[in-house]
Structure 1
């Protein structure tokens, strides 16, 4: 029995932990070769070690998505390693608390916090998408998935920069899907709810009980549950799916 991604090459950003690492392992399970990129090279190497332990093939790449030259080099390294680029998962991002904006009212945000979060969560996705699509054009097609969020679909207090960045990723995904559909390049987004990752630990510590009260399934999601959606969207089984933003949130946005 073959995997959904047999013979395909994939690039994953933010692959050093959480959803990115789970996706890397799922892609390999389904037959892909993976370029695991992260600004923390040691974390990317740990993901590669886990892939190799399961018999897969992967390379680790250091990349800061706020630096366009590094993004271009990352895509080139992935292509050099595997001869092309069939799938990309633009997953690198930051949470509000990492840039001192958690719980801060919109008018009280420091400009540095706003710009820093937007640069990673939005501009970083655009930088990756741009270079990936240029490569996919040369090959006659490909599939891209961007990490948005349920907060790309709804609002939330005390998180203006994050909410704005993720709404923008949803819009970018839809626009890019329309632009590049004639080139056989599909662009979709995944919108995770509250998932058990290092990035959400601080949020859960502060207000986890209140958040879980709003989730119909009454639990946190697992990184592997996001990975499954991403694998499918990158596979040929999703051949008529583009411009979609898939909630994987335990029913949070259904209320």
Structure 2
């Protein structure tokens, strides 16, 4: 039986069209939330809608490219227009990985990783643009006076595909967001998934996957919903004293 941890809350999920993001949408809806499913692929986001509990008008699908400021603003505007209130919970899940070391990436793939996972771009107004912080900034603009929580799913296997800059920036980002936003009643936490059965992990070669699974104490890949359960718990009032934490859901991957 569902515990309804997020009853009546509006949850904004990036990368909700597949994998961990989709699982987060499903678990959040099960727990009574109204879910804004965003994804670069709108068709995938719309498919996620069909999997969610509750009246269909409780949930919406919105196209979102987290590397573009205008796209982020438009997505939040769509949510605000649909519900009449801003989302009070954010699951900033969107990210990419190539499955190759950064030294082996071609220019296009390298740019995609930087643009999606890190991106610093100077628009005409000369304000810095960042991916996850940009979503959080938009979130703050609409919801600064409401106590809220934020979870950031990330994957240890992407470290070989990310640049050192994106890895370091991710660690600094959690700390900075925590310090800045906790004074507004916003809890910021991170979830670190291990090898999870998602389309992103499926892109790894079979030999690599077999080695990873063999090294796991549980000897299996994790399921997206196992990560989503941790994320939704962090978003709930049951995690009211958890701030700036990195919760590992790794199957013992780092042991």
TM-score by length of 1: 0.87
- In the other structure, the counterpart of 1:208 is 209
Moved more, 54-63 or 25-34: 54-63
- Is the 1:192–1:248 Cα contact (8 Å) retained in structure 2? yes
| Cα displacement (A) at 1:141 | 2.3
Once the two structures are TM-superposed, the CA of residue 231 in structure 1 deviates from its matched residue by 0.3
What SS does the corresponding residue of 1:252 show, helix, strand or coil? coil
> CA separation of 1:21/1:49 partners in 2, compared to 1, >3 Å: closer, same or farther?
same
Within the candidate set 143, 149, 154, 1:148 is matched to: 154
Please say if residues 150 and 247 of structure 1, whose CA atoms lie closer than 8 Å, have aligned partners that are also in contact: no
* Residue matched to 1:237: 238
- Shift, 1:176, TM fit: 0.5
Equivalent position SS for 2:215: coil
Structure 1 position 65, deviation (Å):
0.9
Give, in angstroms, the shift of residue 2 of structure 1: 5.0
Is 1:131–2:133 an aligned residue pair? no
Given that 1:175 and 1:243 are in contact with CA atoms closer than 8 Å, whether structure 2 keeps it comes out as no
Q: Trace 1:28-177 onto structure 2 (pairs within 5 A).
A: 28-51=29-52, 55=55, 57-82=58-83, 83-97=85-99, 102=100, 104=101, 106=103, 108-122=104-118, 123-137=130-144, 139-150=145-156, 156=160, 159-161=161-163, 164-177=165-178
Shift of 1:149: 2.3
After superposition, the CA RMSD in angstroms is 2.0
- Is 1:220 paired with 2:221? yes
* Structure 2 residue ranges without an equivalent (≥5): 119-129
Are the aligned partners of 2:153 and 2:231 in contact in 1 as well (CA < 8 Å)? no
Higher helix fraction (1 or 2) = 1
How far did residue 225 of structure 1 move? 0.4
SS at match of 1:26: helix
CA contact (8 A) 1:151 1:167 kept: no
